[in-house]
Structure formats: structure tokens, C-alpha cells
Amino acid sequence: MCGAGDMETSAMIKGIGVDVVEIRRIREMIRKYGDHFLQKVFTPAEVAYCEKAAVPEIHFAGRWAVKEAFYKALPRECQTMSGWKSVEIVPGESMVPMVLVCSDFLKSGMDKCGIERWLASISHEKQVCVGVVVMDGKE
Amino acid sequence: MCGAGDMETSAMIKGIGVDVVEIRRIREMIRKYGDHFLQKVFTPAEVAYCEKAAVPEIHFAGRWAVKEAFYKALPRECQTMSGWKSVEIVPGESMVPMVLVCSDFLKSGMDKCGIERWLASISHEKQVCVGVVVMDGKE
Amino acid sequence: MCGAGDMETSAMIKGIGVDVVEIRRIREMIRKYGDHFLQKVFTPAEVAYCEKAAVPEIHFAGRWAVKEAFYKALPRECQTMSGWKSVEIVPGESMVPMVLVCSDFLKSGMDKCGIERWLASISHEKQVCVGVVVMDGKE
């Protein structure tokens, strides 16, 4: 009884997601569909950030990978609440990207599922990007 | 004293595994060794599922990656109890594969090690697949 | 009140890191910069271990990937305490590499941040290596 409050603070893993993206595939989608593709998948801040980079498609690919990994890590009932632009990848300090949940609808769904924390990591090579997301929270 | 029960519910990370597979390598193994290879590594349900796909080797490679990642995430004392077909990768809803532990021997070993949960994620590209598995449980 | 001690034992995810490395890139760095590169990035034990392997650059690439993933998983305040040789990748049994924190400075920083555990996994293919690190601990 007396420990009931503590139980709620005990965290467990709630989700994991990984995504690997061949940069060439993103480059081709940008070439073929241009702004239409970019505006469907990325927020204005993400587009602005990537387009400032020397090789924008590497950064678009990295953000794509983290968005996909985040989606896969979500509980199923939250996935239906989630679209490409429900989250924004914010370039964190020291190579650690932050995933901002922009959609209040999705955020409240994640709260209901007990998700308290999510962490992301991203890696770029010449040909591929990999994104990983892990979530934890209470039972 | 009164909190002893709660301590057992507090989870910690017990294992992580990652595996990257070049699909070409799986394709060559299927070409060379055919059913002998498939039946050694995959359960009948996994074979049936992958062979229905347009490009079966992509799905065999993905399952291979998750099996390897699961094995790497296991505590060492459980790895010796584990073979290729001790687990079955079940295509979950919404891109989330489930790892079913088919072997009672392995399952009881994992119980003894305090492993309560395991989550998997998988990603396919044209040339590579990546699988990740994370496990948590009590101390 | 009575559960206060338990709360401190409840673990949460503190960091995740992923790194993908094209082996060709490491091979070129070894060819260009040789020992200067190896001694800057790897500990003597790591160099000795990799150079005994049939294809050393695969193992150097794997260690590079785990070092990068470890760095990304660290809290920001610990990253500034960390260099290439602050950690040593020890070939664990059964395909599970261990990350030894060699630097007392970094170790005490991680303690202050509440990091209690870190687990790593590594995967090698012909062209790429992937490393993943996850950390947990108390709030």
C-alpha cells in the first residue's frame, strides 16, 4: 500500500525503433518530387535547417530515419495519431538530436500510454543514415 | 521493509543487441544452400511468411537480423540455451515485429535472469537490414 | 516516505547512441595516417587485439562505432570529459563487447549524472559496422 506511489515512478522500456535509410533514395525523392515531398515530411524549421547544410539530403535522410524510428517505437494506439510532422527533429548540442512532439493530440496519447521519456540517436555515413529511438515510462 | 515488493517491480536494462545484414549475403546463402539453410534458421511460419513476399530475401534478412540482435541481447548464460529457432519473429501490426520465445528451456532461463520484457525493431533498405532488440527486467 | 529508498533504485533510460561506419573509410584512414591515427583513437590493448585479426580494419571500425555510440549516449556534461581513449572496448564473451571506462574523471562525471549501467552491441558486415549503446540509472 505504502509503496503505491513509488511503483508509478518505476520506469520500464515502452518502445524501441530503428530505421536505416540509403541517402541515395532520399536524394532521388527530392529530385523527383521537390518541395512537395519536403513539405509533406518535414516541418518548416527542419527544411530550413537542412537546406543550410552543404549536403542537404544527408540531413533530410537523418531526420527521416529518426521520424521513422520514433513512429516504430510508439505504442500501436499512438501510431494512428501520428504523422510525419507530428514530431520535429531539433539539432541538439553535442550530436544528440531532440525529438519535439508538436502535436497535442499525439502528446496526450503518449501520456495516456505512460510514456515519460524518449531519447533519439542518429548516425550519418556517406551512403546510409541510421536512427534509433527508445521510450520509457510507467506501466 | 514495506517497499520490498516495489523494488522487485523496478526495471533496469538487461540487454541490447544490434545486427546489420547485407541482403545480398542472405540471397547468396539461399541460392547456394536453399531449403537446408532456410529450415536451419527459420521456423515453418517464418518461411511461409517470407516466401509469400514479393522479395523474400529482404524479409529473411530482416528476421535474421532480429534473431541475431535478440541473441546478442541475451545474458551469456541464456545464449547457450538459444538456437536460431528458439525464437520466432511474428509480423506485428504497424511495423512492430514481435519476438516469440518458442523454447521453454530458453524461456525459463530468461525468467531466472529476471528478463521480463523484450522489444524489437527492424528496418529494411534495398541493400541492408538492421535489427535492434532491448530487454529489461528486475535486478 | 517509507518508499523513498526504493525510488532511488528505480532505473530510467539515461542515454542512447548509435553509430554506423563504412569500413572503407576506416581502411583509408589507416592507409593515410597509419599509427598516428590508430594511437590517437584506440588504446594499446585495442590496437593489439584488432591487429591480430585477419581483417583488422573491420574490428577497428567496430570499435570506432561503439566509441562514437557511447559518446552520443553520454549526457552533454559528460561528453566534454570524454575523449577517444577514455573508454576501451573489451571483446566480451559471446559477441557482447564491454565498454570499460578508463578515465576516472569521466567515471566520476557519469556517477554524478546517475549513470549506473551501460550496455553495448556491435555488428559487422562486409561494408558497414553498427554500434549501439544504451545507458540507464537513477533520476
Give the model confidence (pLDDT) of A45-85 as tens digits.
Answer: 999 999 999 999 999 999 999 999 999 999 999 999 999 99
Q: Is the pLDDT of residue A16 over 60?
A: yes
Instruction: State whether A7 and B3 contact (CB < 8 Å).
Output: no
Instruction: State whether C13 and A136 contact (CB < 8 Å).
Output: yes
Closest CA to C56 of C23, C33, C89, C85: C23
Q: Is the pLDDT of residue C110 over 70?
A: yes
Chain C residue closest in CA terms to B1:
C2
Choose among A9, A20, A119: nearest Cβ to C10.
A9
Across chain A, what does the average pLDDT equal? 91
SS3 per residue for chain B: CCCHHHHHHCCEEEEEEEEEEEHHHHHHHHHHHHHHHHHHHCCHHHHHHHHCCCCHHHHHHHHHHHHHHHHHHCCHHHHCCCCHHHEEEECCCCCCCEEEECCHHHHHHHHHCCEEEEEEEEEECCCEEEEEEEEEECC
Q: Which of B99, B123, B134, B135 to mutate to test binding with chain A, by most A CBs within 10 Å of its CB? A: B123
Instruction: State whether B13 and C10 contact (CB < 8 Å).
Output: no
Neighbours of C107 (CB within 10 A): 17
pLDDT tens digits for range B77-88: 999 999 999 999
* pLDDT for res B139: 75
Q: Is the pLDDT of residue B99 over 90?
A: yes
Tell me which chains share at least 3 CB pairs under 8 Å with chain C.
Answer: A, B
* Averaged pLDDT, B113-126: 94
Q: How many helices (H) and strands (E) does chain C have?
A: 6, 5
Contacts of C11 in chain A (CB under 8 A): 11
* pLDDT for res A3: 37
Phi and psi, residue C66, nearest 5°? -70, -40
pLDDT tens digits for range A92-139: 777 789 999 999 999 999 999 999 999 999 999 999 999 999 999 987
Contacts of A116 in chain C (CB under 8 A): 12
Instruction: State whether C76 and A93 contact (CB < 8 Å).
Output: yes
- Helix ranges (H only) for A42-103 are 44-51, 56-73, 76-79
Instruction: State whether C130 and B21 contact (CB < 8 Å).
Output: no
- Helix ranges (H only) for C85-125 are 104-112
* pLDDT for res A2: 35
Contacts of B68 in chain C (CB under 8 A): 123
* Averaged pLDDT, C16-28: 96
Contacts of C117 in chain B (CB under 8 A): 12-13
Exposure string of C1-37, with b = 16+ CB inside 10 Å and e = fewer, is eebeebbebbbbbbbbbbbbbbbeebbebbeeeeeee
Choose among C9, C95, C125: nearest Cβ to B7.
C9
pLDDT-derived band at C10 (thresholds 50, 70, 90) equals low
Q: Is the pLDDT of residue A21 over 70?
A: yes
* pLDDT for res A10: 64
**Cα C14 from Cα A119, distance rounded (Å):** 8
